[in-house]
Amino acid sequence: MRPLRDLFPRELIRQMAHTTRRYTGRSALAIAPDASRVAHVTDRSGVYCAWTAPARGGDPSLALAVEGAAVHSLCWTSRGDLLGAADRGGTERFQIYATRSDERLEPLVSSQGDAVQHLMSWNAASPDGRVLALSSNARERADMDIVLVDLASGAQRTLVSGAAWHVAGGWSPDGRTLLVMRVADNTEQTVLAVDARTGEQHEITPHGAEAQNVPVGWSADGSALVLADDLGGSRHVGLAAVDPGTLERRPIDVPEWDVELAASSQDGHVVAWSVNEDGYSRLRWTRDGRALGELELGGVCDDLVVSADGLLISYLRRGAREPGQVWVLSTRTGGTWPVVTTTIAADPSELAEPELIRIPAQDGPIPTFVFRPPQARGRVPAVLYAHGGPEAQSRPGYSHILAVLQCLVTRGIAVVVPNIHGSTGYGRAWQEAIHRDWGGIDLRDLRAVADWMGEQPDLDPERLAVFGGSYGGFATLTCVTRIPDRWRCAVDVFGVSNLVTMIENAQPNWRRFLARWIGDAERDRAKLLERSPITHIENVRCPLLIVQGANDTRVPKEESDQVVERLRALGRRVEYVVFDDEGHGFTKRANADRAYGLVVDFLTKELLER
């Protein structure tokens, strides 16, 4: 095993980041109906495909691959069909493919030119394996309806429609009722119980003030399982059972942290969930309401499914120094074992375990993970990494991004990873503080973190950088335009630069979210322009690396184009790299290698070699 210091950045990224893991969403695991195999999404072959492995451990085999496309989410039906949602070029216009029980691969739901977007969850198939419930914007591109697909013929029937984003949330054990989530934004949802035959629907989570309500399955007594953030006065997300008839809610777990994931067996007897405790996951499970066990993972639970019979739970676990591993837990014995393991060429003991601290700030202490070079002597350069979202959370779990950060640490660069206001995992008030306040409370938080970095005796205030993607790219551009004196260099990966054009150019079914989330492009135009980094672009004093996908539907390429155009006109140094076959992220291993290698090269050169 070669020491980390002897590995080149791109080689290290490849060895540290190409692990078994999800690509996007939380439906990248599935268990066979007879619980004999576990399916998972990985880029083992160079592009995201579905592989399966024996549930008791063994060699994985390729199960579902779509030529020219990347697989994202999975669903395994009771009849043995493995279904996968896949898109081409990062467009996020997902089409559905099936590997039948006889191993035939065929398109199940697709549209001419992939024009229609389809969304599928792990529990989208009816208990009898005959029908699939999907979200689709075929009727109106601005809406997501629920359509039922006959898995034998492919025939479709609209079940729920309307001017909203609808998501299927699981079938009742008898197959008569489908839970549907009507989404306003990340902190406001309503759950409907819908008769799958007639389409008759009624709301089962009535609420006055905005509240989070996410369906996750059913219990054996016919109650719907819902993640909600208004249980017993708590403003954290808890797990409850809701009687669809009386609407009575029975709390199952209301911890002082958020319940992040939950799933149930097909018959509803077994329920499993994970709790996000300050970034680390704790797994819990019950049978018929009786607690069976609890497991501290020492890392992050990234996905979670329960077998149809409730005897097995499969989860994806990641640690700060350990790549993603697919594990299985026996609900009968409580025993656990790895199904798919991934090793890295580097010695994990040479990687940094982060320190969790709170950085004082005007609006409240900011939870922050700090990665310090273990062999550092004297003051070292440091990078502020801002996560995407902003309604997301940086956590001590392995990913391509964490591989990049660990790579920087091995080169003697500290990394500061804050969960500023807007982040999930710290309660509703913290999360929604950024709603319609982009460039406000987050700027105050970022300034506090930058000031803290400049004051630390082990960090060099003359060699600080900022790096982030998506919303993190907006945070990066905000830092270099509004706090310009702090930074030696910066990296912006598909970041928002102009809040007005971001809203105006968004894909149709995102515009409702953005109006609630960021603001109204007409009514709030003056405020949005003032908060936009592009308005203050002349303040930029440091060199930038900007990375963008040409097919990005979430943050259109124009957001990066206008920054590059303005910076070059001002004579500023900017490197611009566009991936013509990618969207909001990377679906091809070669592209991820190149992009993240460029990031490490750029930061290393600017912070250590100049």
Residue 166, C-beta contacts closer than 8 angstroms, at least 6 positions apart: 135, 143, 144, 145, 146, 160, 180, 181, 182, 183
User: Which helix (DSSP H) or strand (DSSP E) does residue 450 occupy?
Assistant: helix 441-455
Domains, the chain, with CATH or none = 357-609 (3.40.50.1820)
pLDDT band at 351 (very low <50, low <70, confident <90, very high): confident
| Mean pLDDT (whole number) for 9-27 | 44
pLDDT, tens digit, for every residue of 112-122? 778 888 999 88
| Mean pLDDT (whole number) for 139-154 | 92
Q: Map residue 333 onto helix, strand or coil.
A: coil
Report whether pLDDT(111) > 90. no
For residues 330 and 107, the model is more confident at 330
pLDDT band at 183 (very low <50, low <70, confident <90, very high): confident
d(CA 29, CA 259): 19
pLDDT, tens digit, for every residue of 129-143? 999 999 999 999 888
pLDDT of residue 200: 95
- Both tokens of 258, joined, read 């958020």
To the nearest whole percent, how much of the chain has pLDDT over 90? Answer: 65
Report whether pLDDT(450) > 70. yes
Phi/psi for 181 (5° steps) reads -100, 125
Q: What's the whole-model pTM score?
A: 0.86
For residues 582 and 578, the model is more confident at 578
For residues 19 and 328, the model is more confident at 328
| Mean pLDDT (whole number) for 217-221 | 95
Give me the amino acid identity at 301: C
**Residue 117 burial (C-beta neighbours within 10 Å; 0-12, 13-18, 19+):** buried
For residues 70 and 463, the model is more confident at 463
Report whether pLDDT(312) > 90. yes
Q: Map residue 506 onto helix, strand or coil.
A: coil
d(CA 193, CA 201): 6
Tell me how far apart the 2 most distant CA atoms of the chain are, in Å.
Answer: 70
d(CA 308, CA 155): 26
Report whether pLDDT(127) > 80. yes
The answer to whether the beta carbons of residues 97 and 114 sit under 8 Å apart is no
Nearest to 82 by CA among 40, 42, 117, 119: 40
pLDDT band at 343 (very low <50, low <70, confident <90, very high): low
pLDDT of residue 20: 36
pLDDT of residue 346: 64
Q: Map residue 433 onto helix, strand or coil.
A: coil
pLDDT, tens digit, for every residue of 74-85? 999 999 999 999
pLDDT, tens digit, for every residue of 252-302? 999 999 999 999 999 999 999 999 999 999 999 999 989 888 999 988 998
Report whether pLDDT(545) > 90. yes
pLDDT of residue 12: 46
For 477-588, strand residue ranges (E) read 489-493, 544-549, 574-579
Nearest to 165 by CA among 186, 193, 151: 186
pLDDT of residue 426: 93
Buried b (16+ CB within 10 A) or exposed e, 528-553: beebbbbbbbeebebbbbbbbbebbb
Chain centroid offset of residue 129 CA: 28
Report whether pLDDT(191) > 90. yes
Nearest to 213 by CA among 245, 237, 194, 232: 237
pLDDT band at 345 (very low <50, low <70, confident <90, very high): low
Report whether pLDDT(494) > 70. yes
For residues 577 and 233, the model is more confident at 577
Q: Is the dihedral of CA 99, 100, 105, 109 positive or negative?
A: negative
**Most confidently modeled range among 100-104, 479-483, 546-550:** 479-483
Phi/psi for 598 (5° steps) reads -60, -40
For residues 146 and 229, the model is more confident at 146
pLDDT, tens digit, for every residue of 19-48? 333 333 457 899 999 999 999 998 888 888
| Mean pLDDT (whole number) for 552-564 | 90
pLDDT of residue 530: 96
3-state helix/strand/coil string of 147-179 = EEEECCCCCEEEEECCCCEEEEEEECCCCCEEE
Task: Kindly give the pairing relationship between strand 105-109 and strand 118-119.
Answer: unpaired
What's the chain's average pLDDT? 89
Nearest to 172 by CA among 222, 213, 122: 222
Report whether pLDDT(154) > 70. yes
Q: What is the DSSP string of 106-143?
A: EEEE--GGG-S-EE--TT-B-TTSSEEEEEE-SS-TT-
The answer to whether the beta carbons of residues 371 and 351 sit under 8 Å apart is no
**Residue 394 burial (C-beta neighbours within 10 Å; 0-12, 13-18, 19+):** buried
Report whether pLDDT(18) > 70. no
pLDDT of residue 497: 94
Report whether pLDDT(537) > 70. yes
